[in-house]
Amino acid sequence: MEHIDFEIFLVATPGLERVLVDEARAAGFQGATPCPGGVTFRGSWPDVWRANLTLRGATRVLARIGEFRAFHLAQLDKRARKFPWGDTLRPDLPVRVEVTTNRKSKIYHAGAATQRIETALREAHGIQIDKAAAITVKCRIDDNLCTFSLDTSGESLHKRGHKEAVGKAPMRETLASLFLRDCGFTGDEPVLDPMCGSGTFVIEAAEIAAGLLPGRSRGFAFQQLANFDADAWEALRQAPPTQTPENRFYGSDRNTGAIDMATKNAARAGVGEFCTFHHSAVADIAPPDGPPGLVMVNPPYGARIGNRNLLFALYGTLGKVLQERFSGWRVGIVTSDAGLAKATKLPFLPLGASVPHGGLSVRLYKTGPLR
């Protein structure tokens, strides 16, 4: 396959672009640069495949396949018919088209633009349109410039392919991995989540420590493109041998159903032997034997789960237990409520950006090693 260089866009959870760019650079994607809503770099199709397979924090990977200017719908129609769709799209597989426009463009009606592009694909290239298609063609019309991208991921990348059971208000794996990274976690220390729910933080941490690739258990939309090279992909998927983590990863929860869920999810992810889950109230947690590490927790916020007034006592207990028993450990708490975070009385570092999660705006409150 020839290595044509083009722009690749990693979609990030807004507010975590700088954490994702750090991950992309660490993974060897040269020239990765943050921008609103994501990270861009230039690369080739094997880089697109590798980004989907290996990056834990990206929501999806878009390949920018070309652009042209269009000042009215007839011009859009004409140029869309001449566009080299056959380089990437197969005539035997349907696609869906999504268009976004802004008022700086002469073409501002997204619905009309979508129809013109769909008609061009169908009539000039024999490509069928289906709203449920696995392949999405995205067109952004900005200041009369039509930029075309393919969503190469398909399902959102937080769907790792091996997690079945989730509890209330689960944290997406992509988000969990970025919060772990933001807390300085690299895989070489224990992680404990005292309100683990379905085990997302614990399992992500164990996978990172074991060197498991996040996309190892799932398929991707790029496998249905005309330029897909199955042999090259299989070579890429020959994952590096997993390492045995030096530390264990711990989750506890007062809900026995959550412990059962987390245990099964860890086993499905292939990290069950590195994870320990047990039934415990927050007041009863204690640090495991071994070196200090990271306490990572996504407690209830009271906005959807729990009564906010009752949560002040829970956060207060959490802070007290951590201060008294977890000397040397760092703490990361994800919450939408600054008042609840303050109730822990933990010595938080300066706050980062707010991040959307489940219809709310949350922040990561983190500490240095507790004294």
pLDDT at 238: 84
- Contacts of residue 73, defined as CB under 8 A and 6 or more positions apart, other chains included, come to 107, 112, 113, 116
- Asked if 121 and 91 count as a contact pair (C-beta separation under 8 A), the reply is no
pLDDT of residue 309: 79
Above 80 in pLDDT, residue 166?
no
pLDDT at 207: 96
Among 103-107, 260-264, 365-369, which is the least confidently predicted range? 103-107
In the chain, where are the structural domains located? 6-151, 173-214+241-366
Task: Provide, rounded to the nearest whole percent, the portion of the chain with pLDDT above 90.
Answer: 88
| pLDDT band of 167, cuts 50, 70, 90 | low
> Model-level pTM?
0.94
Examine the pLDDT at 115 and tell me if it is beyond 60: yes
CB 79 within 8 A of CB 68: yes
Specify the CATH number for 6-151; select among 3.30.479.30, 3.20.20.70, 3.30.2130.30, 3.40.720.10.
Answer: 3.30.2130.30
Supply the DSSP symbol for 80.
H
Rounded to an integer, the average pLDDT of 255-269 is: 94
Predicted pLDDT of residue 326: 98
Please give the order of strands across the beta sheet that includes 294-297: 275-279, 249-253, 191-193, 294-297, 330-335, 360-366, 355-357
Across all residues in the chain, what is the average pLDDT? 94
Give the list of residues 6+ apart from residue 284 with CB closer than 8 angstroms, or none.
none
Least confident window among 32-36, 151-155, 294-298, 306-310: 306-310
pLDDT at 216 > cutoff 70: yes
User: Helix or strand or coil: residue 33?
Assistant: strand
Report the pLDDT value the prediction gives residue 2, as an integer from 0 to 100: 55
The CATH number for 173-214+241-366, chosen from 3.40.50.150, 3.40.50.300, 3.40.50.720, 1.20.1440.230, is 3.40.50.150
